[in-house]
Amino acid sequence: MDSQIAKEEIIRLSELIAHYNHQYYIEDKSLISDQEFDELLAALIKLETEFPEYRFPYSPSQKVGGGITKKFSTVKHKYPMLSLGNTYSEEDLKEFDSRILKILADEGIQLNQISYCCELKFDGVAIGIKYENGKMVQAVTRGDGTQGDDVTQNVKTIRSLPLQLMGNNYPEQLEVRGEIILPFAAFNAINRGIEENLLEAGYSQEE
């Protein structure tokens, strides 16, 4: 296959697979069968193997196999990743509200009242994920708030996390911060897989 044609096909397959991943993991829509998805991914990996110069960092193939590492380098956060504060009284909440209004006023934003959006807290692994021109370039844990571990290769394996942002309505540099969590369904599936592997290896459930 011609090199330029291979490059165009790799880009096409990457975008198509990313689209199906988004629909499945974010929109909860299964547009193609598992077999069809696997065939697309296999075709992409085959082309990337033949033309490694076109194996882009944001390729969906980077989500599978061989990327996990336990050796992490330390990265200093551009902005501190602070932990959540606690409050147990109405007075604390009012003081927080006053402090926010003052900060906004200092920035030249005059408001008499602001609205808050509250949600249940997920207790997972705090992470900061950096994108440049829509492409994921780094993932760093909270660590001590000032610096954390570079876990980019490990985070790339998270199927619901886009390596390439969709559309073009995003800043040139973007950092997304949140929590990495393991849902109960995924946790139970992992345990079932371990049990099946042990049974296949000859271990009984009593052992």
pTM of this prediction exceeds 0.95: no
Do 180 and 155 contact (CB within 8 A), yes or no?
Answer: yes
Catalytic one of 71, 78, 121, 135: 121
Our answer to whether residue 29 is catalytic in this structure is no
Do 180 and 124 contact (CB within 8 A), yes or no?
Answer: yes
Order the strands of the 173-180 sheet from edge to edge.
135-141, 125-132, 173-180
Mean pLDDT of 179-200: 88
What is residue 66's predicted lDDT score, i.e. its pLDDT?
46
Closest Cα to residue 178, out of 103, 54, 84?
Answer: 84
What does the pLDDT look like over 56-92, one tens digit per residue? Answer: 877 888 765 445 567 789 999 999 998 777 787 899 9
What does the pLDDT look like over 115-166, one tens digit per residue? Answer: 888 878 777 889 999 999 999 999 999 988 899 999 998 998 888 889 989 8
In this predicted structure, the answer to whether residue 38 has a pLDDT above a threshold of 70 is yes
